[in-house]
Structure 1
Amino acid sequence: MRNSGKAPTFVVWVISLVLFLVALAAQFGLVRIPEPFATWSWIIGFGLLLAACRIRGL
């Protein structure tokens, strides 16, 4: 199947999901991740997902 819509590809979706899970685990104290990395994982994951919805083929 070809990606004909504006939905993100599976790879981008998985990367965003992993970044979200890292940030979520850091927020609730399940893992110790330094603060800049935990905050930036939210920002990068969400920004990547938003960009993938607008840029065809990403």
Structure 2
Amino acid sequence: MALDDALNTAQQQGIGKVEQSAIANTKAAFVAELERQNPAYRDARLAFRDMSQPVN
């Protein structure tokens, strides 16, 4: 199960708040390491975020 999937279905899966927090922290650490090793990944994530804003 992917980290995003685990977070999105946490309540359905019976995952408690402490476990959800641990998953979120693991995801944040993973993304931070990816961005540290590959700055272009960070740039791409930020560009996607900026281009995904609602139009209205």
TM superposition score normalised by structure 2: 0.51
What is the match of residue 43 of structure 2? Answer: none
Tell which structure's C-alpha radius of gyration is larger.
2
What is the match of residue 7 of structure 1? Answer: none
Which segments of 5 or more consecutive residues in structure 2 lack a partner in the other structure?
39-56
Q: CA RMSD in A?
A: 2.0
Where do 4+ consecutive residues of structure 1 move more than 4 Å? Answer: none
What is the match of residue 13 of structure 2? Answer: 31
Percent same amino acid at aligned positions? 11
Return the structure number with greater relative CO, CA threshold 8 A, min gap 6: 1
TM superposition score normalised by structure 1: 0.50
The structure where helix makes up a greater share of residues is 2
> Is 2:14 the counterpart of 1:21?
no
Which segments of 5 or more consecutive residues in structure 1 lack a partner in the other structure?
1-14
